[in-house]
Structure 1
Amino acid sequence: MTREFKGLYIGGQWVSTAETFSDLNPSDSSVWAKIPDGTRQEAVKAIEAAQAGFSEWSDLPFNQRSKYMLKVAEVFEKRKMDIARALQGEAGGWFGKGMFEAGYLPELFEAAAASNYTQVGEILPSLHGKLSMAIRRPMGVITVISPWNFPCVLSGRGMAFALAAGNTVVLKPSSETPYCGGLLFAEVFDEAGVPEGVLNVMTCSKKNLAGVGDELIEHPLVKGISFTGSTPLGRQIAAKAGAHLKKCCAELGGKDCLIVCDDADMDRATAAANFGSFMHQGQICMSVEKVLVQERIFDEFLKRFVARAAKLKVGDPTADESNVIGPLINDKQVAQIKEQIDDAVAKGAKVALGGGITGRFVEPTIMTGVTADMKLYREETFGPVIPVIPFRTDDEAIALANDTEFGLSSGVITRDENRGLAIAQRLDTGMCHINCSSVNDEPIVPFGGAKASGVGRHGGRWATEAFTETRWITFERGGRPYPPVF
């Protein structure tokens, strides 16, 4: 059944649009929903509505804003099963992945509610007897631009702490997942009774994307941008934001490594590799994209990894919940994966498992013999294809892991925690997880990357810092006279 929606969500009202666009189920290209196709003019209205709602929202006592965040969390909790089903149909995800996203949302908004009960300023020392304070205040209208791969988590993460701090938001989800990343949030905030203008949702087709996107970045009422997506697009958005001297918090692409040391627990190592490489078809910014294995255990690890990955079922997740490997989001992603596999094979790499592609379904694929001249080694893959590469020493593993423009996440598997920490401290990544996969997230952690993987941090107090202004306020108490000449 094709779903239809009332319109865009602007100023607490559902606003119909002249046109709609088709939102496709990636498994079979059927029309999952008809989505309102917003224009640049409607983006302006959404921004103005957010600005109109800012004064009332930011002036609310902080505990009242927290209560609204808890109401949002309650509605998300109530709708968990429906959300998981929607993620299967619209985004092509495994049911378990959908349940993770659906379960993350209430936790996220509960954490945002709690953030208002933490310290928001500090008293500074003064050489002249002043009472000197650093305090934080909300910025105003924040644009949240979210991707299609984890649409619920990443839309929610972009807005929750910013809203709790007193900002208002215009949310622009990906045109691949406009419901789960956008209109769902409008429904929930509407049901929770959040005041008008606090959240505004702009959906649009690729046809209108350039105009809508430019407005959401360049409009003078927009004070900050939260973006999650690819590095090339992130560079463009950050450049436009920078030209207008606007703060931009951007979480971008990755080429993340899992380092498996020769003292690793083999079951833990292969589980981390399997989950990190193939969860949601590898379509996660922090997916494992290279497994680096110490030579002494390489053959044993590869054998066990192949055996574990071979058990993953491929197919339409809406037809069978046991289908863990669903479709890639679109044909462009499939073509990119095929190009990387073909390039690697042509240059001498071997396929240890998988390699088959049927429509948008790509088999879990493990490759060996991958070298630095191959696209699979160098470029972000964003699919279920993983090279396993040997290393001799810890120094070599660190060099291989750092041999990339990206620096989002990483993992190190070793029984020696001191060894793991020593390796982690030398990796050029924003995050590292010892004895776990590179795929990790919690609402209150500083999530973000180094190098070409982004700027700023989402999550917890770091998100609050990203979308508030620090102000210096003093009380003069007679300790610093002006020069007599004045």
Structure 2
Amino acid sequence: MPLDDERIWPDAAEWTGKIYSGGWRTAGGGTRRVVEPATGQRLAEVGLACAADVERAGALAARAAPEWAATPPSDRADVLLRAARALDERSAAVRAWIVRETGGVPAKGDYEITAGLAQLRHAVGLASQPPGEVLVPQDPGGTSLAWRVPLGVVGVITPWNAPLLFAMRALAPALALGNTALLKPDPLTPVSGGVLVAQLFEEAGLPAGVLHVLAGDAAAGRAVAADPQVAMVSFTGSTEAGREVARIAGEGLKRVSLELGGKNSIVVLEDADVEAAATAGAISSFGYQGQACVAAGRHVVHADLVEEYTEALVRQAKALPVGDPRDEGVALGPVISERQAARIERIVDASVAAGARVLAGGTRAGLFYPPTVLDRVERSMPAYREEIFGPVAPVIPFRGEDEAVEIANDTAYGLSAAVHSRSVPRATAFAQRLRTGMVHVNDVSAKDAANAPFGGMGVSGNGSRIGGTASLEQFTQWRWMTAPGPV
């Protein structure tokens, strides 16, 4: 994947060192180099928003909100359709940016593009949903109506691991339903999570002032959450950061949607197809270097199958090449940063020191961490307790279903899970006992769909959901009106 040929779009001369707020403008927070994790090469330089930039953007978004809310839903839908068309047409360039900026292989880039397109196209339908209800009036001959109205300005704070997808997952429904938005992408991926998003919507003809893209660090995120013009904050990221966002937004009595971390289990019952389960387990733990909130952090396997399953998982782990994601045949690229690599290393090393055994991988080379399989994992070990966010698969045996349920639920998180059995009714019944917001039978733990409510329980979120018709509740509020006669 040559650099120059596939980075022609967007023109860096337009946005280098700038933020997008009423067009591209000089950032008040200085600039930051964007570095390719696989090579350390400088990819770009972006502007960083300061608190004053956020305040200005909030004011502009609030000013643009009434006109955008009054725009016919069909016209808002047309903007989203044009953005989808632009993304489809620009897919080669977008893929190249995702690969180089996030460290994901090309298939990961394709996934983000396909899923981003699905979010845009599904949101088109939200724009034309029935806006409300005709209620039975209390007074004879009167009128009682309830309908949904936009919240106003929505703040969207996204992480680095799927920056394009997570931006579209919140922006598409928010814009479709008549809100304006402040997008704060992660400073590690400000191009694929911010610059590209701004360019796509600009090409789609989104009116000026409706969308503001404000790359920045945690201080910029705090400013977005605190801004008085922002009525709602959609945050995707770590549980620790989510707590801070909730605290800040709560002081302003804002609506908050939190999609946070996970310690997800793949449960393999004794009648499972071992090879199929191990393949799903490998995808769930090793895909995009395990850097996903829905990655499998525990492989909970019946004792009668654990040896066979572990052998299959190790075989698959050792068959996955690690290297520069632009190189043909590479399955895993680098993890996103030295901080993340050191975290994975700490968790594995501490678990091994406590008695866990490495069956594959376990030793990194810079930012490249190989697919790693651990057994003899005890409940006191970090590999059992902590969200790893790396390509590590801890295998934990069980004897009975009650024990498997207890292990899978033995975490403060409650995001996703998968259950494997040749009996779908049995797996479905088992799945009902898991305390997770999402669960998948005979599949991977890492799934996403534009028409499905995505979110978790416990410290994986605040019970909110984005996706499908759940987005109607997230990005609108009810208004009730009565009149003494017909209206």
TM-score when scaled to structure 2?
0.94
Corresponding residue for residue 245 of structure 1: 253
Asked if 1:344 corresponds to 2:356, the answer is no
1:369-418 CA-to-partner distances (Å, cap 9, x unmatched) read 11110111111100001101111111111100000010011100111122
Distance 1:425 1:216 in 2: 38
1:135 to 122, 147, 160: 147
Corresponding residue for residue 180 of structure 1: 192
Q: What is the CA-CA distance between 1:126 and the residue it aligns to?
A: 5.0
1:253-279 CA-to-partner distances (Å, cap 9, x unmatched) read 000000011111223201110100100
List runs of 5+ in structure 1 lacking aligned partners.
479-486
Distance 2:485 2:152 in 1: 32
1:33 to 41, 44, 47: 44
Q: What is the CA-CA distance between 1:477 and the residue it aligns to?
A: 5.0
Structural mapping, 1:11-410, within 5 Å: 11=22, 13-17=23-27, 19-125=30-136, 128-129=139-140, 131-204=143-216, 206=217, 209-210=218-219, 212-318=220-326, 320-410=327-417
Contact 2:275 2:309 survives alignment (8 Å): no
1:208-234 CA-to-partner distances (Å, cap 9, x unmatched) read x41x22321112111000000000000
Q: What is the CA-CA distance between 1:134 and the residue it aligns to?
A: 2.6
Distance 2:305 2:130 in 1: 49
CA distance change for structure 1 residues 125 and 394 in 2, over 3 Å: closer, same or farther?
farther
Distance 1:219 1:308 in 2: 48
Q: What is the CA-CA distance between 1:81 and the residue it aligns to?
A: 1.4
Query: In structure 2, what residue type is equivalent to 1:151?
Result: P
Corresponding residue for residue 482 of structure 1: none
SS of equivalent to 1:460: coil
Contact 2:372 2:392 survives alignment (8 Å): yes
Contact 1:94 1:321 survives alignment (8 Å): no
SS of equivalent to 1:293: strand
SS of equivalent to 1:296: coil
Worse overlay, 361-370 or 465-474: 465-474
CA distance change for structure 1 residues 262 and 125 in 2, over 3 Å: closer, same or farther?
farther
1:310-352 CA-to-partner distances (Å, cap 9, x unmatched) read 111100102x032111111001111111111111111111011
Query: In structure 2, what residue type is equivalent to 1:74?
Result: R
Distance 2:275 2:406 in 1: 25
SS of equivalent to 2:258: strand
Q: What is the CA-CA distance between 1:127 and the residue it aligns to?
A: 5.7
Q: What is the CA-CA distance between 1:474 and the residue it aligns to?
A: 2.7
Distance 2:450 2:313 in 1: 30
Contact 2:273 2:421 survives alignment (8 Å): yes
SS of equivalent to 2:336: coil
Contact 1:135 1:472 survives alignment (8 Å): yes
Corresponding residue for residue 481 of structure 1: none
Distance 1:355 1:275 in 2: 18
SS of equivalent to 2:257: strand
- Aligned identity (percent) is 39
Contact 1:95 1:321 survives alignment (8 Å): no
Distance 1:91 1:378 in 2: 26
Distance 2:433 2:135 in 1: 34
Corresponding residue for residue 484 of structure 1: none
Query: In structure 1, what residue type is equivalent to 2:129?
Result: T
SS of equivalent to 1:315: coil
Distance 1:265 1:49 in 2: 56
Contact 2:259 2:461 survives alignment (8 Å): yes
Contact 1:84 1:99 survives alignment (8 Å): yes
Distance 2:481 2:407 in 1: 48
Q: What is the CA-CA distance between 1:171 and the residue it aligns to?
A: 0.3
Query: In structure 1, what residue type is equivalent to 2:470?
Result: W
1:432-483 CA-to-partner distances (Å, cap 9, x unmatched) read 01111110001111000000000211112211211111122234459xxxxx
Worse overlay, 414-423 or 146-155: 414-423
List runs of 5+ in structure 2 lacking aligned partners.
5-11
Contact 1:81 1:99 survives alignment (8 Å): no
Contact 1:446 1:457 survives alignment (8 Å): yes
Q: What is the CA-CA distance between 1:102 and the residue it aligns to?
A: 1.3
1:230-263 CA-to-partner distances (Å, cap 9, x unmatched) read 0000001011111111000010000000001111
Worse overlay, 164-173 or 289-298: 289-298
1:138-179 CA-to-partner distances (Å, cap 9, x unmatched) read 010000000000001111112110110000001000000000
How many aligned residue pairs are there? Answer: 472
